Amino acid sequence: MAGTDEGRSAGSLSIGALVRWHQREVAEWQGPLVEAELWQAHMVEIDTGLAPGRSEHARGFGPDTTPAQRCAAMSVRLAADGIRCSAHTLADNRRKWKAAGENPVVLLPAGREKRPGGFTDPRCLSATREVVARRAHASDVTIDVIREEVEDLLHSRYAKELGSAGVAALLPSRSTFYLRMKESGLADALGQPTRSRAALASTPPLPHGGREVVLRPGQVTQTDTTPLRILARGDDGRPTATELTSLIDVANHTVCALMITPSRPRDAESEQAGQATRAIDLTLMLAQAFAP
């Protein structure tokens, strides 16, 4: 959001959003104070007829106007700035704002998290993934075939528990089933060559449900170890292979800490274990990251 008094982008803001304020990017840590300031001024003007810091009424906000008329005038003003907000919505927001003790945070749009799979029963989604994985090595597999096999699997698995009518309720309509296949990426997987589908089916799922949305530096870090094509002198004076372990901030890709450690494969003759990055090394990397 540009650091202006009007704030034309405020209609698309939500809690946790990254905004621009006075030509600088702002990452909100303890509440959306920058975003809420604009709506606070709007509510005060609707409630009293005077904008904060002004001694004269704007057009449509005179002392002889009602709150409903001021809501209508504010709606027209926001529309001119590219923000669609009806007078009825502004009146509801004003009542909500007053009930919350004139706290402007309640006026911000709440972030809507998309529910994976919509309202489709999780048992159906699990059966769909199972059938697609099972048919990964087959050729000419269509969504209709997958749907028929999912229906058969649901009947065989839940018929005794739910009955035929209950099992039928687990399976969504054909159009919804197509949509779930597309949303989950399974429809695209069916269009790939058999070898690619087989490799995808054998790939384990991402941890913790997949990628995480990162909003600010320091929120999520990742550590990675990779071998280096250089030799170093070990503690015994002999050349040894090395590997690099780094701690990276996911938000801005900054290297927080790094460490080069010896890496030696297991000795086949003596059966002595090889050396590699250990847990104590990772602990020392945390000390590097948090040191001044």
pLDDT for 71-102, tens place per residue? 999 999 988 888 888 999 999 989 989 998 88
Has residue 8 got a pLDDT over 50?
A: no
In total, the chain counts a number of residues equal to 292
- 171 with 119: CB under 8 angstroms? no
| Whole-number Cα distances in Å, 194 to 130, 145, 199, 200 | 17, 16, 9, 10
Which tokens go with 15?
């809690």
From the CB of residue 70, how many other CB atoms can be counted at a distance below 10 Å?
A: 24
CB–CB of 256/289 below 8 Å?
yes
Whether residue 213 has pLDDT greater than 80: no
The pLDDT of 123-144, averaged and rounded, is 83
User: Which residues contact residue 264 at a Cβ distance below 8 angstroms, ignoring those fewer than 6 apart?
Assistant: 234, 240, 241, 274, 275, 276
Mean pLDDT to the nearest integer, 187-203: 72
**Strand, helix or coil for residue 275:** strand
pLDDT, position 121: 86
CA angle 216, 218, 222 (to 5 degrees): 115
* Token pair recorded at residue 94: 């004003």
Mean pLDDT across the chain: 77
In 10 A of CB 22, how many CB atoms?
A: 9
Average pLDDT, integer, range 133-145: 80
Beta strands in the chain (DSSP E): 18-21, 24-27, 221-233, 239-249, 255-262
Tokens (6 digits) for 246:
């780094």
What is the rounded distance in angstroms from the CA atom of residue 140 to the CA atom of residue 194? 9
